[in-house]
Structures are given as C-alpha cells and as structure tokens.
Amino acid sequence: MTNFHFADLLVRIKVAYKGHFSSVKVVKSKLIINFLYLLYKIGLIKSFYILPDGNNILVYLKYKKNGLPLIHTLELISKPSKRIYWNLTMLSKNYRKHAFSTFFIISTSKGLMTSNEALLYKGISGEVLCRIKI
C-alpha cells in the first residue's frame, strides 16, 4: 500500500481504463472523495460509492459509445517531494497552450476545481494536482 493515495488513485483509474474494467476499487480519503465528486460533476465517471467496510470506494468508469475511455491521459503533476503551485498567469498560459482537450485539477482555498473554473474566478490559484486529457 502506498502513502500517497492520490497517485495510487490515478494509476488505478488508468489501468482500469486500459483493461476496459467497469469499476475499480480505491482507498478512501477526503481528497479522493472530493476528486471523484469533481470527476462525477464533470461527467467523466458514472458514479462512486463508499463500500460498507468504510475504507474503500468503488468507482464506476464511463466509456464512449464506441468503447473507448472518456479519459485519454491522467498525469500526476504535484508530488509529495515537489509541490507545484500555479498563479493566474501560469493557469492562463497553460489554458492557451492546451486549448480544449486538456484541463488541470487544482486544489485551491475554495476546494478542488478545474483550471477552467479557476480562470473564471479572478485571483484563484493553488496546487496543481493532475492533468486530464479527454
């Protein structure tokens, strides 16, 4: 088991998508619940449920009609050994660079949000957790 559960979550989701699994079991934490809720709100996963044991979450993955996964790439940006923080300038620069196919998940003082949402709120910046390419 890993001490960095968020990286473990991203790897499990990537492997499950490559194997065309319908669901994947991950370890429960506040950050992971907030991240999964954000993915659910965006529409990148079907749903997620906290299992009766209280320590795990079952995540149901979503696929396109032709069987391809909705998420093309999941990449960890900020690591425990090196935290990456972006201000509004860096967010807008990376938004222009990646256009509509990629967005970043950012941990801000107002909670987890996508880079698109952070750009809508003036002055929101924070730790960049991961990059998602759809």
Which pLDDT band holds residue 33 (cuts at 50, 70, 90)? very high
* Domain membership flag for residue 125: yes
Residue 2 has pLDDT above 70, yes or no: no
**pTM of the predicted structure, to 2 decimals:** 0.88
Alpha-carbon dihedral 109, 124, 38, 94, rounded to 10 degrees = -140
Q: What is the three-class DSSP state of 19? A: coil
Work out the percent of the chain whose per-residue pLDDT is above 90: 44
**Number of folded domains in the chain?**
2
* Domain membership flag for residue 27: yes
118 and 82 in a single domain? The answer is yes
Q: What is the CATH number of the domain that holds 84?
A: 3.30.1490.10
Work out the percent of the chain whose per-residue pLDDT is above 70: 89
